[in-house]
Structure 1
Amino acid sequence: MHYDAFWVAVAFFIFLGVLVYFKVPGVIAKQLDARADRIKNELEEAQRLREEAQAMFADYQRRQRDALATAEEIVAKAKEDAEIIRKESEAELAAALTRRQELAEAKIRQAEEKALSEVQNVAVEISIAAAEKLMKDNLKAKEAGALIDQSIKDLGSQLN
């Protein structure tokens, strides 16, 4: 039994010698170091990407706040502009209504003057017809004067 253990120990030391002879521990150490460097680089890259993402997120939030502020300014300006336009429209409407009222009043005055002129013309025509009729009927001057006076009195009531 000791004999088998001896050969196992000899085989083990030979195996270790072969490993050292072919520099396996150095190769393993280099691979482990390379892997550790890769992991370290990946962690640094991840940290850098995380910081970039945080910076981009902060920039996005700032831009969003700026956009909201700009939108609020635009809305406020639009409300001010709408109020100004409303006031201008009201002023223009009031001016237009005033002009139309003045035009209507002028037309009414013209119509009144025309009606008064027509009534006067009708009264003159009636007076002329009455005078003509009197002349034809050869009324006396006294009666003719009374008829003319009566026509003039009736003319005043016809004009009002």
Structure 2
Amino acid sequence: MANPAAEHAVDAVNAADHSAHTTATVEHPAGGEGAHHGPEVLGFGTSAVAGLAMLVFILVLIWKKVPGVITGGLDAKIAEIKHQLDEAKQLRAEAEALRNEYSNKIANAEKDAAAMIDHARSEAEGIIAKAVSDTDAMIQRRQRMAEDKIAAAERGAVDELRAKAATVASSAARGLIAEQHGAGADKKLVDEAIAAI
């Protein structure tokens, strides 16, 4: 079955060969007839043979469906690149979601840390206030106990001094009475006491 494109290409090659053949026989300026440049195959010049070979090569490529294979390979490569781009978009979306999630977690953690610091600070202030009040109360209790001990010691010392003073005074009085009062003085004192009754 004849291919119309192939017939058209053969006609073009024949026309090119005919024009090449006619230009090859042009006379030289010196007046002689020019010689052919290169060998001829079946009446075709070298350029016609090269064109015909190129045409046959292109027809073989079309017949073996090489352009389809090339475009199929390119389509497969394009599909693979599209798939990779879709995966990259999906990975980017997942990365952005993770980044947003972690930024939210960091913000919440900072809020929690600030709340924990405030709570710890208030607890520490309460503990310090309680320690100060307990210390003040203990100091006042110890001061009262010390004052009570000092007062008791003072009372004991005063009582002891009074007892010693009374003992010393009674012994001194006894000694003085014994020295200054004799039997006559005692009789006089007894008489006065009886008269007073």
Aligned to 2:162: 120
Considering fraction of residues, name the structure with more helix: 1
CA distance in 2, matches of 1:129, 1:44: 124
Asked if 1:72 corresponds to 2:117, the answer is: no
CA distance in 2, matches of 1:15, 1:129: 160
- Higher radius of gyration, 1 or 2: 2
Aligned-residue identity in percent: 34
Amino acid at match of 1:109: A
Amino acid at match of 2:171: A
Asked if 1:42 corresponds to 2:84, the answer is: yes
Q: How does 1:73-92 map to 2 (within 5 A)?
A: 73-92=115-134
Aligned to 1:149: none
Q: CA deviation at 1:82?
A: 1.2
TM-score w.r.t. structure 2 length? 0.66
Q: Runs of 5+ in structure 1 lacking a partner?
A: 146-160
CA distance in 2, matches of 1:19, 1:139: 170
Aligned to 1:57: 99
Q: What is the CA RMSD across the aligned residues, in angstroms?
A: 2.0
Aligned to 1:19: 61
Once the two structures are superposed, what CA deviation does each residue of 1:90-149 show, in whole Å capped at 9, x if it has no partner?
A: 11011101101210111121012111111111112112211331354352558xx9xxxx
Once the two structures are superposed, what CA deviation does each residue of 1:23-69 show, in whole Å capped at 9, x if it has no partner?
A: 21121111101100111011111111111111111112111111110
Aligned to 2:12: none
CA distance in 2, matches of 1:114, 1:139: 36
Structure 1 runs of 4+ aligned residues shifted over 3 Å read none
CA distance in 1, matches of 2:55, 2:122: 94
Aligned to 1:105: 147
TM-score w.r.t. structure 1 length? 0.81
Q: Which has the higher contact order (CA 8 A, sep 6+)?
A: 1
Q: CA deviation at 1:76?
A: 0.5
